Amino acid sequence: MSKLTIAGIRRENQFSPNHIGNDAAIFSLTVQHLRDLGCEVNEYIESDLIIHNFEETAIFNMVRNWTSIHKLQQMEDQGYTVINSGYGIENCTREKMTRLLMSNNISHPASLILPTDEDPTAALENAGFYNCWIKRGDFHAIHREDVTYVRNPEEAKTILKEYAIRGIKTAVVNEHLVGDLVKFYGVTGTDFFYWFYPSNQHHSKFGLEQINGTAKGIPFDDSKLQQLCSQAAEVLNIHIYGGDCIISDDGSIRLIDFNDWPSFAPCRDEAAPLIARRIYNLISK
């Protein structure tokens, strides 16, 4: 039987803020485990998507560049198998993610989507948002200001102006939730699910976890968290995922972020073989 030949596409470094090594590590381990499964894996970088004609009909990727995402979508439309889907990657950009999670009744903070070139004061006051999070609507966080905690409408106005100057047209505004911040990783079609308190492991991209402080260990049902994440992954159309949630004092769970293929840094050795097996099974179908 001939080997499965797969293309693997690494993430550009600019899209791995403070996690370049971690993102590279999970990609390399996944490649290793796919080869252990008997696959031939050809490795590429994101820019190769634009200049290379792919003979491989199956692709796994960690891309984030818009040009790369759109190219993956075109390839999917032409019959390529792409994991994570280019459409799924786009669904994880902030505004689309927020709209999809809320419209599908996935537990999530109360949120607004606002234009960045207008005064947000009235909208924030009407919503009762004073302490809240301002997040760029068009993409993932690349710069520290792309996700910003604000304490009043004046601070929000300043952040929105900065976004407008940068050409970011919309912002997502989430109510601030008090409780324990939990980070999680998962792989669909497997039993793999890992969660932890980033405050206890000093795991951070921009240090924003400090806002919620050290986790108190509020009791919650982790099977419900896994089920909630599985539902979100299905809605967003991704298989390899991670994100963040807040556990409130009553044990309720609300997702505040959901990402396509994060670093899996605290659990990469356990996750990589299952990521590889999931890719193998999806391609084999």
pLDDT of residue 210: 58
DSSP secondary structure, 194-232, as one string: EEE-HHHHT--SSSGGGGT-S-------HHHHHHHHHHH
Give the whole-angstrom CA distance, residue 232 versus residue 139: 18
The predicted structure's pLDDT at residue 2: 62
On the CB side of 220, CA atoms within 13 Å amount to 28
- Which helix H or strand E contains 35, and what residues bound it? helix 20-36
The pTM is what? 0.91
Spatial CA neighbour of 66 closest among 89, 94, 84: 89
- 241 DSSP β-pair partners: 186, 260
Which pLDDT does position 1 carry in this prediction? 45
- Bridge partners for 83 per DSSP: 60
Please report the pLDDT score of residue 7 as a whole number: 97
Identify the pLDDT of residue 280.
97
Rg (CA), the chain: 19
**What is residue 261's three-state secondary structure?**
coil
Task: Report the pLDDT value the prediction gives residue 18, as an integer from 0 to 100.
Answer: 75
CA distance 23 to 10: 8
Q: What is the pLDDT along the chain (285 residues), one digit of tens a residue?
A: 468 999 999 998 777 767 788 999 999 999 999 999 999 999 999 999 988 889 999 999 999 999 999 999 999 999 999 999 999 999 999 999 999 999 999 999 999 999 999 999 999 999 999 899 999 988 877 777 789 999 999 999 999 999 999 999 999 999 999 999 999 999 999 999 999 999 876 544 444 555 677 999 999 999 999 999 999 999 999 999 999 999 999 999 999 999 999 999 999 999 999 999 999 999 997
- The 10 Å CB-count burial string (b at 16+, else e) for 158-171 is ebbebbbeeebebb
Please tell me the chain's helix, strand, coil percentages from 3-state DSSP, rounded to the nearest 5.
40, 25, 35
Region class of 179: left (phi > 0), else alpha (psi between -120 and 50), else beta: left
The pLDDT score that the predictor gives to residue 197 is 96
